[in-house]
Amino acid sequence: MLTISHFKPENAVIDEICPAGEPWMGMVKKGQTFRILDLEGNQAVDTLFYNADNLEERYSAVDTIQRQSRLYLTTGSVLFSSEGNAMATITADTCGRHDTLGGACAAESNTVRYALDKKYMHSCRDNFMHAINHCDCAHHLNMTKRDITANINFFMNVPVTSEGELSFADGISAPGKYVEIQAEMNLMVLISNCPQLNNPCNAYNPTPIQMLVWD
């Protein structure tokens, strides 16, 4: 469902650009609203959420799907944790559909999906690995690959047919489209602004995104 937001960028407490292909990690406190803005369009944003007060509790794609009997995310969708708690709610969305089945690209899965020699390209999982080792906010968390679970792909379109066929369709996002998430608990947010060059999820041209947070 398309819904616009009334938050104004000039009032944001965080306003940062995440360049094309780079990771981003940060805290969003309970009650704050977090916007991801697709600046140039068709940019997949691979996103994971953790309970900042208990890392073992994290975003669960299958709990989110199962508890709402819905595959796609949009305004009104609740993002459920591995403990069955509401972590966040999507409160505005000018794109209309976001994916939570497609996961993150990785060097190793590149070899399967595209060709054995496509391993040495930048990937979302390598971005996640880099971020959890370098972000100041992650130093005390001791995160490893164990903590990288099935993520959300904001702005990505992965339709499933009634026959169970799954495809990576052209994006339905465009320059200036955004999604907003209201935090229902203190969240650690881990993002890879997807660097994948081998499929249409970024229109073969990864671009920057803007992150805004309001109290």
Partner 1 sequence: MQDILWEELIPGGNHWSGVLRRGNTLRLTDLESGANVSALFYNKEEKLERYNMPDTLKAQQTAFLTLGNVCYSDMGRIFCSVTADTVGWHDTICGVSDAMYIQKKYGKANFQTHRNGMLRSGKDGLLIELGKWGLGKRDLGPTVNFFSKVTADDYGLLTYQPGNSKTGDIVDLRFEMDTLVVISTSPHPLDPKKEYKPAAIKLTVKKTGDVPADDVCRNHCSQNERGFINTERYYAR
The answer for residues whose C-beta is within 8 angstroms of residue 98's C-beta and 6 or more apart is: 72, 73, 74, 90, 152, 153, 154, 155, 156, 179
CB 150 within 8 A of CB 62: yes
Judged by CB under 8 A, how many residues of this single chain contact partner 1?
43
Binding region for partner 1 (CB under 8 A) out of 8-16, 103-111, 171-179, 202-210 = 103-111
Secondary structure element (H or E) that encloses residue 109, with its range: helix 107-113
Binding region for partner 1 (CB under 8 A) out of 2-10, 82-90, 133-141, 174-182 = 82-90
Binding flag, residue 66, partner 1 (CB under 8 A): yes
CB 2 within 8 A of CB 180: no
- Nearest CA-CA partner of 57 in 22, 78, 86: 86
Binding region for partner 1 (CB under 8 A) out of 35-43, 131-139, 145-153, 184-192 = 145-153
Q: Bridge partners of 27?
A: 188
Residues 28-57 that bind partner 1 (CB under 8 A): 56
Among 15, 27, 39, 72, binds partner 1 (CB under 8 A): 72
Binding flag, residue 84, partner 1 (CB under 8 A): yes
- Residues near partner 1 (CB under 8 A): 56, 60-63, 65-66, 69-72, 82-84, 97, 101-104, 106, 108-113, 115-116, 125, 144-147, 149-150, 160-162, 164-168
